[in-house]
Amino acid sequence: MYNILVVDDDPNIALLVHMTLSKRPDYRVTIANDGQEALDKIAENPPDLVLLDIMMPDMDGFEVCRRIKQGEKTKFLPVIMVSAKSELRDKLLGMDLGANDYITKPFNPEELLARVSAHLRIKALEDMLATQKELEAALKMSVTLQHEINNPLTGVIGNLELLKDWRDSTPEEVNEAVNDALALALRIKLIVQQLSRVTRIIPSVYIKGSEMINIGESTKDTSAADSGK
């Protein structure tokens, strides 16, 4: 089920768009009568697509589109601007603000359905790719933890096992085991600190074709290099 928000101050136009889109059983259509109501509805329950009128009182569609595209949680929300204004400069302004498409009133119902369907398919593909990238990043992190933390942790456990029988060990052996365990524990602490500073995923090959995160490259500050370009 796709949630579509129709934003139009003309109740007749809003109803016509609602009736057109409701021909699709997988579309759930909600109406907002002005820009602020639209932003409130988006904040409360983000839709999958917004059909946005331009000419509205108080807050026009351009401003609504600008706020949607500047929002961290809504910047990828597809926006189709719908308006009786057909001048090229209005279309260009809408696109500059981040609108994904533009359709002019009076619209053809079949064209409207086709445009909406196309952008919903694009959004579905983008969501799928984003999920796949998140999964790949999680798998790389898992391999990284296994390699970077599991190895020294095994060393810590081994030294602690030796210290269980400290009475049978010489003071030198006990001292060496304690120092080794401390050094390995500090290494784990450093790795955790580095992982908290990861700002991008730079992979490196691990084994059997799997990848892990290259901690050094993934925590490297690129701002200085970028500023020098």
**Would the pTM count as exceeding 0.95?**
no
pLDDT tens readout for residues 13-69: 999 999 999 999 999 999 999 999 999 999 999 999 999 999 898 999 999 999 999
The Cα–Cα gap between 148 and 152 comes to 7
Is the pLDDT assigned to residue 112 strictly greater than 90?
yes
Annotated domain spans of the chain: 2-107, 131-227
Contact call for residues 82 and 17 (beta carbons, < 8 A): yes
pLDDT above 70: percentage of residues in the chain: 90
Is the pLDDT assigned to residue 200 strictly greater than 90?
no
pLDDT tens readout for residues 125-145: 888 877 777 777 777 777 777
Strand order of the β-sheet with 27-32 is 27-32, 2-7, 49-53, 79-83, 101-104
Which residue has better confidence, 185 or 226?
185
10 contacts: CB under 8 Å, gap ≥ 6: 53
DSSP string, 129-193: HHHHHHHHHHHHHHHHIIIIIHHHHHHHHHHHHHHHTGGGS-HHHHHHHHHHHHHHHHHHHHHHH
* Mean of the per-residue pLDDT values of the chain: 84
Check the CA dihedral 85-90-95-97 and report its sign.
negative
Give the least confident one: 9-23, 83-97, 198-212. 198-212
The CATH number of the structural domain formed by 2-107 is 3.40.50.2300
